[in-house]
Amino acid sequence: SEWSQTWNWIDGNWIEGNAPIMGTRTHAAWLGSSVFDGARAFEGVTPDLDLHCQRLNDSAVALGLNPVMKAGEMMELTQDGLSRFAPDTPVYVKPMYWAEGDGIGTIAGDASSTRFALCLFEAALAPKDAAITLTLSPFRRPTLETMPVNAKAGCLYPNNARAIVEAKSRGFDNAIVLDMLGNVAELTTANVFMVKDGAVHTPAWNGTFLNGITRQRIIKLLRDAGTEVYERTLGYGDFLDADEIFSTGNYNKVVPVKRIEDRELQPGPVAQRARDLYWEFAHG
Ligand code: PMP
């Protein structure tokens, strides 16, 4: 297939394209032991890159991998790699670890077999006026007892993929995914917020979804700007009844929802304020 411009740092070398890194007996390819993170370079800035690199190392530890790179080293490699792209190219920054080690009983491979790569690829940000449609997914988020939800682990994502594929099969862009108790957790690819009577509400982190770096950043920016933000238990009914809904994630930052099921929503002023605050922060 056709890949956008891609550069990878692997074992001390920069390699262009979709570089092969795994063998047929590699634990990660066979049994799913990989973790990654995703930051973004756009408009000449890479906001919260330090937090994304640190979260990669936390994800590695959660899965039993050995975080062999320091966050600062990953940040330096990122700056080095970005210089291979034209200035201001929007780039997805994906550092990753995986286990090379062998055999199903090793769970995540031998810690000393942990491998690292940094993959950078060109990827446009959603246009400023993008807005999405949402439905309710029939699939749910696992709990910490059933999957390593505290890691940004590759093995979680087939569940997200089937949720988005199912939503698209019914004509929606994305889906709200519930946790095992039936409360709203997140979207398939981003965190989710709602606005009611001027106040912002988002699910409280309960170990079932990714506590997004953009989520945490937006909560702080909105609060610092004087907007009330409540992290609490929310049901799907709360979202059906919301004045505004928006998503947050590193990939497209803040994106408003224009329809939930058959109810039209106006992309509203709070989502716009969240987006503006993020851009101000990013350009600091
Ligand atoms: N939830 C899921 C499932 C995601 O894949 C992402 C994107 N990394 C997010 C939430 C948003 O997290 P962040 O703001 O850290 O990108």
Residue with the nearest Cα to atom 5 of ligand 1? 189
Number of domains in the chain: 2
Determine the structural domain holding residue 99 and report its residue range: 6-122
Asked, for residue 127, whether it belongs to a domain, the answer is no
Same domain, 168 and 277: yes
203 in contact with ligand 1, CB cutoff 6 A: no
Reported ipTM: the value is 0.99
160 in contact with ligand 1, CB cutoff 6 A: yes
Same domain, 138 and 111: no
Name every residue whose Cβ is closer than 8 Å to that of residue 98 and which is 6 or more positions away in sequence. Answer: 21, 22, 26, 27, 28, 33, 34, 35, 65, 114, 115
Name every residue whose Cβ is closer than 8 Å to that of residue 86 and which is 6 or more positions away in sequence. Answer: none
Encode the chain (284 residues) as per-residue pLDDT tens digits: 689 999 999 999 999 999 999 999 999 999 999 999 999 999 999 999 999 999 999 999 999 999 999 999 999 999 999 999 999 999 999 999 999 987 887 777 777 889 999 999 999 999 999 999 999 999 999 999 999 999 999 999 999 999 999 999 999 999 999 999 999 999 999 999 999 999 999 999 999 999 999 999 999 999 999 999 999 999 999 999 999 999 999 999 999 999 999 999 988 999 999 999 999 999 99
